[in-house]
Structure 1
Amino acid sequence: MSSQPPHPALLIPGPIEFDDAVLQSMSHYSESHVGAPFVSTFGDVLSNLRKLFQTTDPASQPFVLSGSGTLGWDQVAANLTEPGDEALVLHTGYFADSFADCFETYGVKATQLKAAIGDRPQLDEVEKALREKKYKVLTVTHVDTSTGVLSELKALSELVHRVSPDTLVVVDGVCSVGGEEIKFDEWKLDVVLTATQKAIGCPAGLSVLMASGRAIEVFKARKTRPNSYFGSWKNWLPSKTDSLYTYLPQSNRLAVMQNYEAKKASYFATPSPQLIHALDTALKQILSRPLDQRFADHRNASQTVKKAIANLGLKQLATKPENQANTMTAIVLPEGVTPPDVVPSLLKKGVVFAGGLHKEIASKYIRLGHMGVSVTDPDRSDLTKAIDALRESLAEIGQA
């Protein structure tokens, strides 16, 4: 039984509903961010992120910075590319446009390989693009929150390594990590970036990123200084730059993320202690069961939702089964029905859906998130409640 005040079930594609224990961790008393207790917690977080991403390579590096998932884009653009570099951005919706815009902000030329709305670029199209030009990075949105399109990572990464082996494979996993399977080492991914407020199940405010050893070496070989200060890996990885905290041992003033993982005090910028405690709780909950079971739970919940949607006579933006995400569903509304016709009614029935986000068709669909505790907690009936509310809301406007 939840101790949270009664509230509508938040079933948008993030933020999601949070477990009581995670929220209680947010009320942790104040403590020093370089004190042994907090440093130990941060160390556990970084170690457990390796398990979540399924990497055992000591050359890979997890980063946890205060910020949103968008900060992950800045880290990639600022650290792994330089002005004049080329980036190939696979487009499956709104967030590819945004990632491309981020690259352009840093003077990187972004080429978007677009698919029809609800689809994803095909491998032969990606291969053709890679053979036509040399790209420093290729980016793919694992689950595009605007369309519910799921991209296939394993075959894509194999293609990139075969056709353009120097190109870094960068994954926007904001709406996938914790709900969709990701095998960082096995699939030879170079960067996966995410945020805490979606399938990981922790309140918003932390940008999480895993970088491969290959990506770190590309960063170290750059010819220009990163065009970011807070997001520069120069300030989070070993460097010759001294810290303001001169009372710390010299060895603890250089490698912030490595030191935290080794449970040594370190400093560049003040972290978010209460959020780190919440993330620690969320990760330990996730890892208390086999990851395969967690991913299966999300697949099963997704199939239940999608079957119910079909039974209501509705379609998804992602029409092909292989393109359909397990963490969310983008639901096309009946002709002539818009989100304002149903979303307020859904709220009155105790569930919160999101309106459309893709700028070309935003008025034609709504989005339902199904991840985290709404999926994994057998005592919750969030998704059943959501489908029942959608059925009733459509009936009220003569769309039953």
Structure 2
Amino acid sequence: MSSFKQEPHKLLVIPGPIEVADEVLYANAHPSMSHMSADFVPVLGDCIRMTREVLYTTTAQPFIIAGSGTFGWDQVAANLTEPGDSVLLLNSGYFGDNFTECLRAYGAEVDEVRANFGAAADLGEVAKALNAKKYKLLAFTHVDTSTGVLSDAKAIAETVKRVSPDTLVVVDGVCSVGSEEIRFDAWGIDVVLTASQKGLGTPPGLSILVAGQRAIKAYEARTRPVASYYGSWKKWIPVMQAYEKGSAAYFATPPVNLIYAYHASLTQITKGSPSLEERFALHRQASKRVKDAVAALGLKQLPFDSAFAANGMTAVYFPEGIKASDIVPRMLQKDVVIAGGIHKDHKDEYFRIGHMGITVANPERGDIDKIISALKESLAEAFASKKSA
């Protein structure tokens, strides 16, 4: 293992990208390699296998492709829907809005079960919608990064299985994979899409999607050509299968260095200490610490019920009289980078803190202590400044 250490830098605790381990950043600096090299083949092959482990699946097909998490929406829309297909979208924030827009761009007819701001979709309304109409797939954002709202993936999948068992269950897990428990096979999920830069602890640039066998069969049964060139599973399935079997294949050049970094992070997550189960527990513990500290400061969380508050991030309303320019720059001066709001109707009302990956899995770093201390000091300074003004 290298003795490489990152340069001192501000603590990045937005809801992604997140801090990455020294070993991951060092792996990203691997000498330039051919994507057809015999040395690279097992690296991508291992990434495919370890991605399955993170999601507790044995038979689903991972796709690891250059792109952002957003590209996962295009893969779902292009490969699993055809113009006129009915889709039910459970909307709990900004990213639900955008997923709907993407699906409609490919011709899907999208109905929404919209949650109130700060809440997850009501399962009773979901069941009612599924009873009223036949849907090709149901999609939802597991953690909507704009609100910090966590949807109950297990309960949603159970509802679909009970009410409309032929409907595919698609999970946007961009802000949840690696920080929230997802049991792909046991819960009956058909697709999880995610990205490298959040709970998976890798620099941004990889679109990671896992498709179960029901989803693959639905793709194979489509009657029209896939309305995407780069995103077509016809192009990517042979590539992924070849690398997993131990031989190189080509459609488009993969980001070789980034895949080395992803391999380093996955190795820590699936084979290192803490274990994957322990990692989920650490995320829950860190989340509670941050949320308890927020409450002790008299601040209100955006999710209005702790039952649907994410473990990998916290969204917090500004107190009365305080705005982003009072808090975010002060946190920055204390070398802590947080994020403002993003939801189009409420973006000036709240801020967001990410607590994922090594920030929580390596508690000896003291990141959570630093976040809480900086927030207390920044809030006190902001109130003092208002009083003296």
TM-score of Structure 1 vs Structure 2, range by shorter chain: over 0.9
- Tell me whether 1:274 sits opposite 2:257 in the alignment: yes
- Provide the residue aligned with 1:178 in structure 2: 178
In structure 1, give the amino acid aligned to 2:31.
Answer: Y
Q: How far did 1:382 drift?
A: 1.5
Query: 1:205: how far off?
Result: 0.4
Counterpart in the other structure of 2:158: 158
Measured in 2, the distance between the counterparts of 1:336 and 1:2 equals: 45
Quote the residue 1:360 is aligned against.
345
> C-alpha separation between the residues in 1 aligned to 2:111 and 2:322?
35
1:101 counterpart SS class: helix
Amino acid at match of 1:109: E
Matching residue of 1:29: 31
Provide the secondary structure at the position in 1 that maps to 2:157. helix
In the TM superposition, residue 14 of structure 1 has moved relative to its aligned partner by 0.1
- TM-superposed CA distance for 1:388, in Å, is 1.1
What does residue 219 of structure 1 align with? 219
Select 2:268's aligned residue among 277, 282, 285: 285
The 1-side partners of 2:382 and 2:268 are apart by 41
- Three-state SS of the structure 2 residue aligned to 1:36 is coil
Q: Kindly provide the CA deviation profile for residues 142-191 of structure 1, in whole angstroms up to 9, marking residues without a partner as x.
A: 11100000010111101101111111100000000001000000001000
Q: In proportion to residue count, which structure has more helix?
A: 2
Q: 2:364 aligns with which of 347, 362, 379?
A: 379
In 1, Cα distance between equivalents of 2:104 and 2:288:
38
Most deviating of 294-303 and 258-267:
258-267
Alpha-carbon distance between aligned partners in 1 of 2:156 and 2:112, rounded to the nearest angstrom: 16
Instruction: Look up the match of 1:250.
Output: none
User: What does residue 75 of structure 2 align with?
Assistant: 75
Structure 2 distance, partners of 1:291, 1:385, is 25
Partner of 1:244: none
Give the corresponding residue for 2:6. 4
8 Å Cα contact 2:299/2:319 also seen in 1: yes
2:22 is matched with which residue?
A: 20
Identical amino acids, percent of aligned pairs: 55
The answer to whether the 8 A contact 1:119-1:323 is kept is yes
Change in 2 beyond 3 A, CA 1:292/1:399: farther
CA distance in 1, matches of 2:220, 2:345: 40
TM-fit CA distance, 1:379: 2.3
Question: How do residues 97-176 of structure 1 correspond to structure 2 at under 5 angstroms?
Answer: 97-176=97-176
Q: CA deviation at 1:360?
A: 1.0
Q: Deviations over 1:22-73 (max 9, x none)?
A: 000011111211111101111010011111111112xx20100000000000
Q: Which position in structure 1 is the counterpart of 2:245?
A: 262
**C-alpha deviations, 1:327-354, integer Å up to 9, x for none?**
0000111012211121011100110010
Could you tell me how far 1:2 is from its partner in structure 2?
A: 7.7
8 A Cα contact 1:54 1:182, kept in partner = yes
Query: Aligned pair count?
Result: 381
One-letter amino acid of the structure 2 residue matched with residue 136 of structure 1? K
The residue matched to 1:12 in structure 2 has which SS? coil
Q: Distance in 1 between matches of 2:11 and 2:4?
A: 12
**RMSD, aligned CA:** 1.2
1:75-118 per-position Cα deviation (integer Å, ceiling 9, x unaligned) = 00000000111111101110000000001110111112111111
What is the CA distance between 1:9 and its match in structure 2? 0.2
State the 1:378 CA deviation.
2.6
Q: Which residue of structure 2 aligns with residue 294 of structure 1?
A: 279
- 1:223-242 equivalences under 5 Å are 223-237=223-237
Displacement, 1:397? 2.0
In the aligned structure 2, how far is the partner of 1:236 from the partner of 1:30?
23
Report Cα offsets for 1:228-272 as digits up to 9, x if no partner: 0000001112xxxxxxxxxxxxxxxxx211111111111111101
Per the alignment, residue 241 of structure 1 pairs with none
> Aligned ranges for residues 301-316 of structure 1 at < 5 Å?
301-316=286-301
Distance 1:148 1:273 in 2: 32
Aligned to 2:374: 389
Cα distance in 2 between the residues matched to 1:333 and 1:383: 20
Cα shift at 1:399: 6.8
Q: After superposition, what is the alpha-carbon deviation per residue over 1:126-154, rounded to whole angstroms, capped at 9, x for unaligned?
A: 00011111111111111110000001011
Contact 1:42–1:263 under 8 Å retained in 2: no
Residue 240 of structure 2 aligns to which amino acid in structure 1?
Answer: M
Measured in 1, the distance between the counterparts of 2:169 and 2:139 equals: 6
- Bigger mean CA offset, 281-290 vs 344-353: 281-290
User: Residue 229 of structure 2: SS of its match in structure 1?
Assistant: coil
Unmatched 5+ residue regions in structure 2? none
The answer on whether the counterparts of 1:13 and 1:369 sit within 8 Å (CA) in structure 2 is yes
2:326 to 322, 334, 341: 341
SS at match of 1:177: coil
Which residue of structure 1 lines up, in the alignment, with residue 309 of structure 2?
Answer: 324
Counterpart amino acid of residue 283 in structure 2? H
Contact 2:4–2:26 (8 Å) recurs in 1: no
| Matched-pair contact (CA < 8 Å) for 1:39–1:263 | yes
Contact kept? 2:157, 2:189, Cα under 8 Å = yes
Q: Distance in 1 between matches of 2:139 and 2:55?
A: 17
| Mapped contact 2:4–2:23 kept (Cα < 8 A) | no
What is the one-letter code of the residue matched to 1:360? D
Distance 2:176 2:152 in 1: 12
* TM-score, normalization by structure 2: 0.96
